[in-house]
Structure 1
């Protein structure tokens, strides 16, 4: 009889008052800060690379191919020898390669939207932009890896920077600009319906910006009408700034222009991207 009584007591329904007391007995967990949420999503982007290492091809094989191809293809014709040409080319081709792989941020965003992952993210009690900022932080690591790979290959081929601090400053400036430039592709990732559309639009924008610059040749060798575009191209300012820093100089004007372009890109495309994200 006692056993039956005990079982009946254990199976008795929980009173509403007791359940309410249980729920409010402990404090609710604190809402994560903007920095904490952004770093968490950045770590998620890094873990995706761990599980799909093929994503590293664009920051390893692609940069090596670019350095070798342009150095030996144009070096003899433009500078007399590949070893001479790489002194001018490497900072520019470094900028070109990193800027071109920024488009994969938009592709990743678009892919997660198609899979429905963003619907779950938007329901979480977190700082809204942290999801997108996390993507950009994770990709910043990929940009740093691409820079390290290209500098290593360049040194093997004969590139000799005049300042180690200048190299670090140049890479840091490039990462800042690339982080800001990635907001453009994040916007396209939210705006366009397929990842192929994102890649197509990205290449239409990137090819003129990278090839119509001072990456391969000095603007003085170009027609006057083309120089007007090249001299005001943001990629030209970044490439000139990185080249000057690696040569041991301090190109204040180009550095200021590069940082100014970075600030303008974030100020314009950041709010537009967040508006699209909130309405998606």
Structure 2
């Protein structure tokens, strides 16, 4: 069996496992839409000033997409790695032809497909609210690449956690600060001046700024995408290395 066939078989099993979990399906597809209904539909944006939701609706398109791009891979990959570790499934897989990078590639592919579908739903919901943004082809580059990035991070977090519950807690503990401190929902103007340079330490910042450039602000998203692409390659490699493939 070739590497492609092994990746395809593992991806198929991962997708079936996801579809059997109704809660996972809800939070992947409907929870982000609920956020849009609350914040874009009920809590009006564009009120002026520098506070939360003070910008026009189109400004927050990257923030809504970041909710899916960040939380879905961190929680799903992190908890899956922790669950496999608890059940000694990696030790069993290590005795098969499947390699660690193939396993992570398969689960990353499934997450990329699910996140892309969820983001398509989000974009449709945002358009329905009347948000003024451009449907840029750059979305087809940023969303999958950032998904790969955070799948790698999720694999690292799952490898560090001592249990599945611990992996979920750790993922949320990392995702929540990143979501609000990465030039997404909170604009840099609302943050202390000394903290603004620290935004560049968050990989989500490059995703948010690149998507905002492509869909709202105008300009070239190439530098931001190059940063996301480089970080995705590093994160995937580190994620593969961190997997407890032959843990004793």
Post-superposition shift, 1:76? 5.2
- 1:86 correspondence with 2:57: yes
Query: Which residue number in structure 2 is paired with residue 255 of structure 1?
Result: 225
Match of 1:238 among 207, 218, 225: 207
- 1:113 correspondence with 2:106: no
Larger Rg: 1
Q: Which aligned segments of 4 or more residues in structure 1 are displaced greater than 4 angstroms?
A: none
Residue 183 of structure 2 aligns to a residue whose secondary structure is: coil
Query: Which residue number in structure 2 is paired with residue 99 of structure 1?
Result: 70
Query: Which residue number in structure 2 is paired with residue 3 of structure 1?
Result: none
CA distance change for structure 1 residues 114 and 230 in 2, over 3 Å: closer, same or farther?
Answer: same
Check the 8 A contact 2:152/2:237 in 1, yes or no.
Answer: no
Whole-Å Cα distance in 1 between the matches of residues 14 and 61 of structure 2? 28
CA distance change for structure 1 residues 128 and 227 in 2, over 3 Å: closer, same or farther?
Answer: closer
Check the 8 A contact 1:183/1:270 in 2, yes or no.
Answer: yes
Query: Which residue number in structure 2 is paired with residue 271 of structure 1?
Result: 241
Q: Could you list the per-position Cα deviations for residues 37-86 of structure 1 after superposition, in whole angstroms to 9, with x for gaps in the alignment? A: 1121111111113333432111222111222223233615447xx8x722
CA distance change for structure 1 residues 39 and 271 in 2, over 3 Å: closer, same or farther?
Answer: same
Post-superposition shift, 1:213? 1.9
Check the 8 A contact 2:70/2:147 in 1, yes or no.
Answer: yes
In the TM superposition, 1:170-249 aligns within 5 A as 170-247=139-216, 249=219
Query: Which residue number in structure 1 is paired with residue 107 of structure 2?
Result: 135
CA distance change for structure 1 residues 206 and 78 in 2, over 3 Å: closer, same or farther?
Answer: farther
Q: TM-score under structure 2 normalisation?
A: 0.86
Whole-Å Cα distance in 2 between the matches of residues 92 and 62 of structure 1? 14
Post-superposition shift, 1:193? 2.6
Q: TM-score under structure 1 normalisation?
A: 0.77
Q: Which has the higher contact order (CA 8 A, sep 6+)?
A: 2
Unaligned runs of 5+ in 2: none
Post-superposition shift, 1:279? 2.5
Query: Which residue number in structure 1 is paired with residue 5 of structure 2?
Result: 36
CA distance change for structure 1 residues 264 and 78 in 2, over 3 Å: closer, same or farther?
Answer: farther
CA distance change for structure 1 residues 58 and 33 in 2, over 3 Å: closer, same or farther?
Answer: same
Q: Could you list the per-position Cα deviations for residues 110-145 of structure 1 after superposition, in whole angstroms to 9, with x for gaps in the alignment? A: 223334544432222233432222122111122112
Return the structure number with greater helix share.
Answer: 1
Query: Which residue number in structure 1 is paired with residue 130 of structure 2?
Result: 158
Unaligned runs of 5+ in 1: 1-31
Check the 8 A contact 2:157/2:167 in 1, yes or no.
Answer: yes
Does 69-78 or 42-51 show the bigger shift? 69-78
Instruction: Report the RMSD for the aligned CA atoms in angstroms.
Output: 2.5
Aligned residues: 243
Whole-Å Cα distance in 2 between the matches of residues 177 and 47 of structure 1? 23
